[in-house]
Chain A
């Protein structure tokens, strides 16, 4: 029982995925132009940060047996809120309040899922529409906030030491924080246990409500963080920010080996999954291949990696 609770019970999936990633890199180094350059590597990292943050935040949610479809919409709402507040207050303060809005939105999900026991798919499908609707309502869907201060745009467009995307340290901190939370704390253990069996976890004395609630609140706050970086990256805040990002993030999580039924999954797996997709998209472009092929190949990658890891663990 204890062994099966271990989150590293099927460590081979990450190895399979790492192999696929290396293969991808090798193929594109061969057929893409300027693919295997440091500059391109950093650009891949830069464009992956927003979806990456969502994927990292979704990992414990999915490990707990839940789902959060509202993260992309929360990005839209946060972007709009940030844009509006940036007109009235210093951008730093506006960013902090935006994170608060994200946490509050996450708390709505947490309340409905953890306290009222409504299925997360239904709850977050509702807030998916609600948050996006609010964002569109606040701006009429057309208002576009621009003219952010240079120092703020640096966060999304700048380089540290002349090469490293400025948003990378934030992303690394989020990865580290979530890794420790899920893999090195009792909270993380509790989330895995809940994913295996919510009833069992309850009778084992785990405060299911609190532990579940936390991951949804965090998911909301991290979505806002992703929105702040997105706005700094694009230099604009509009209600359509983060449209359909939730699906790409979920794809990265599942590709990373997290079981959609809960109870199994790792943060490092998600990061590998994320880059397997990001490298694919980037490589296709540099090889002058139509980008819609990237969608097809991402699907194929997903199926193959899961089939292979299933066979190994069987």
Chain B
């Protein structure tokens, strides 16, 4: 009985109609499928796929096995897709299989996190350190009304990313805002919310004239916000680099003025746009649907200025 069933299936397989779908297919992979950050990127990617009328595949690891991304790309090569876009977990580990995809004539894009430059055609750069630093300082100045004192909470004094952002914050400060003063060197919080909470309490005590606390690591903003909220000081605001969900209630409370990050939906949107666009090395810009014209620097496609999440738009994001 079973063998009969199997025989039927084999028979069916034999007369499988030849697939004639000529639709352009974009296969896009996050680092981790379960992460709300990437789910938010997917929303934008799907929107672009709908606009462009392309077939869209979204798949990636659900666990931490570092070999999984390679397996998925390998399967996509076999399946036959036109473009592969990967948020890379293992810079070197995935390079070989991406090169193989390129050799087969598949367009290879990386987004969110890059691989070796020769293993892909373009990288979608979501934000430059300068863009983040300048946006942080400009928004800080707006909140402070162009004058007064502020303090910075960072992850640790050796954190490379944070230090680079702070450097650009300071550069912008020196260049444009003579009436604003940074009270002390950045306060390290070990990238922990409870430590940021205590640091913010200390800042409020030691520097009573501080009008704004800027946190440049994502647990820092809600940590500092809780301290300010509990102090009941209405004249002190918090802002910084953080994820929307952790800060929503403080933004609606008015403790956090705004947070700076890139627009994850636009990142997904641009990734699919770039996957489909006919771009080649040497181009300096590309049209990208609702994002209008987007700059290309070398082999990096720039998402543009960071996005400011405030009480008007933060509820549109869920990550």
Contacts and interface: CB of A to CB of B under 8 A. Distances in A.
Partners in one complex: yes
B79 interface: yes
Given A238-B66, A243-B64, A26 B93 contact: no
Contacts of A243: 63-66
A30 B11 CA distance: 10
Nearest to B71: A47
A296 B12 CA distance: 25
B76 A241 contact: no
B80 A33 contact: yes
Given A26-B12, A291-B59, A234 B79 contact: no
B78 interface: yes
Contacts of B10: 22, 26
B6 A291 contact: no
A186 interface: no
A230 B16 CA distance: 36
A97 interface: no
Interface in B214-262: none
A27 interface: yes
Contacts of A290: 59
Contacts, number: 96
Contacts of A244: 63-65
A235 B96 contact: yes
A144 interface: yes
B75 interface: yes
Interface string A279-314: 001100110101110010000000000000000000
Nearest to B62: A292
Interface stretch (A35-43, A111-119, A174-182): A35-43
Contacts of A285: 59, 71-72, 75-76, 79
Given A26-B9, A288-B57, A234 B80 contact: no
A30 B75 contact: no
A19 B93 CA distance: 36
Interface in B1-50: 2-3, 5-6, 9-10, 12-13, 16, 19, 33
A157 interface: yes
A52 to B, nearest CB: 13
Interface residues of A, number: 41
B92 interface: yes
B90 interface: yes
A279 B66 CA distance: 20
Nearest to B63: A244
A34 B77 CA distance: 10
A68 interface: no
A203 B132 CA distance: 74
Interface string B48-86: 000000000101101111110011101110111000000
A83 B80 CA distance: 34
Contact of A241 (B66, B80, B92, B95): B66
A23 B4 CA distance: 11
Nearest to A30: B13
A14 interface: no
Contacts of B93: 144, 234-236, 238
B188 to A, nearest CB: 20
B58 to A, nearest CB: 9
Contacts of B59: 285, 290-291
Contacts of B96: 153, 157, 234-235
Interface in A223-274: 230, 233-236, 238, 240-241, 243-245
A236 B76 contact: no
B92 A240 contact: no
Contact of B72 (A26, A235, A291): A291
Interface string A77-120: 00000000000000000000000000000000000000000000
26 contacts: A19-B2, A19-B3, A23-B9, A26-B13, A30-B13, A33-B79, A40-B78, A47-B71, A47-B74, A50-B67, A144-B93, A233-B70, A234-B66, A234-B67, A234-B70, A235-B92, A240-B64, A282-B75, A285-B75, A286-B79, A288-B79, A290-B59, A291-B60, A291-B62, A291-B72, A292-B62
Q: Would you list the 3 A-B pairs with minimal beta carbon distance, nearest first?
A: A26-B9, A285-B75, A29-B13
Interface of A: 19, 22-23, 26-27, 29-30, 32-34, 36-37, 39-40, 43, 47, 50, 144, 146, 153, 157, 230, 233-236, 238, 240-241, 243-245, 281-282, 285-286, 288, 290-292, 295
Given A30-B16, A50-B67, A243-B63, 6 more contacts: A26-B6, A29-B16, A233-B70, A238-B90, A241-B66, A281-B71
